[in-house]
C-alpha cells in the first residue's frame, strides 16, 4: 500500500479565454487569484488540503467531462461541495450560467447538479460529504 500521496494538489482546467475564465471562477467559486501568467493562472480556496485550480489557455477543445456508456449520463470530473445546494443552483440560474437538472433524493435530501464554465467545461455541485472531508 502506498503512503506517498496525501491529497489532490491541483486540478488543471483547459480554457479558451483566460481572463473570462478567471472572472468566472472567482465569481462563482469564490476562489482567489494566486498567480497569473500570460497563458495560465493559479486559483485557490486558501484552505489547507484543498486543491488549487490551474487554468491553462489553449486552443484544444476537449473539455472536462465524459459520458458514462452504461447509462448515457454525462459526468463532470470535478464536484464542488455546498451545504446550500438549492440556493447555489438558483443563484447560478439567476446569473444565466448553464445548469443541468437539480437532482435531490427525497429520502435524505442529498443530491447535486451539473453546470458549465464559459468554455463548456462541465463542473458539478453536491451537498454530499464523504468521511474525512
Average pLDDT, the chain: 91
Evaluate if residue 95 carries a pLDDT over 80.
Answer: yes
The pTM of the full predicted model, rounded to 2 decimals, is 0.87
Vertex 33: Cα angle to 87 and 13 (nearest 5): 75
**Look-up of cell digits 462541465:** 122
Residue 72, all three cell numbers: 448515457
**pLDDT by residue (tens digit) across 18-63?**
999 999 999 999 999 999 999 999 999 988 778 899 999 999 888 8
Output b/e per residue, 84-120; b: 16+ Cβ within 10 A: ebeebbeebeeeebebbebebeeeeeebbbbbbbebe
Residue 106 main-chain phi, psi, to 5 deg = -65, -30
User: Which one is predicted more confidently, 61 or 128?
Assistant: 128
Quote the cell numbers at residue 54.
490551474
pLDDT the model gives residue 129: 84
What's the rounded Cα separation, in Å, for the pair 70 and 125?
22
Q: Which fold has domain 63-133?
A: 2,3-Dihydroxybiphenyl 1,2-Dioxygenase; domain 1 (3.10.180)
Q: Is the pLDDT of residue 7 over 80?
A: no
Residue 105's pLDDT is what? 93
Mean local confidence (pLDDT), 84-110? 95
Q: By C-alpha distance, which of 24, 9, 117 is closest to 54?
A: 9
Given this model, what pLDDT does residue 91 score? Answer: 97
Q: What CATH topology corresponds to 1-60?
A: 2,3-Dihydroxybiphenyl 1,2-Dioxygenase; domain 1 (3.10.180)
Asked whether residue 99 carries a pLDDT value surpassing 90, the answer given is yes
Domain limits, CATH 3.10.180.10, in the chain: 1-60, 63-133
DSSP state at residue 16? S
Enclosing H/E stretch for 94? helix 85-94
Amino acid at each position: 500500500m502506498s503512503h506517498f500521496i496525501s491529497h489532490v494538489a491541483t486540478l488543471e482546467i483547459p480554457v479558451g479565454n483566460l481572463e473570462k475564465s478567471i472572472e468566472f471562477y472567482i465569481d462563482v467559486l469564490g476562489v482567489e487569484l494566486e498567480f497569473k501568467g500570460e497563458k495560465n493562472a493559479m486559483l485557490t480556496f486558501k484552505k489547507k488540503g484543498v486543491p488549487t485550480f490551474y487554468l491553462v489557455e489553449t486552443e484544444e477543445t476537449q473539455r472536462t467531462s465524459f459520458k458514462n456508456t452504461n447509462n448515457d449520463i454525462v459526468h463532470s470530473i470535478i464536484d464542488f461541495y455546498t451545504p446550500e445546494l438549492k440556493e447555489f443552483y438558483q443563484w447560478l440560474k439567476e446569473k444565466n450560467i448553464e445548469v443541468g437538472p437539480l437532482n435531490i433524493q427525497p429520502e435524505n435530501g442529498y443530491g447535486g447538479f451539473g453546470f458549465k464554465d464559459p468554455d463548456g467545461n462541465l463542473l458539478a455541485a453536491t451537498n454530499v460529504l464523504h468521511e474525512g472531508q
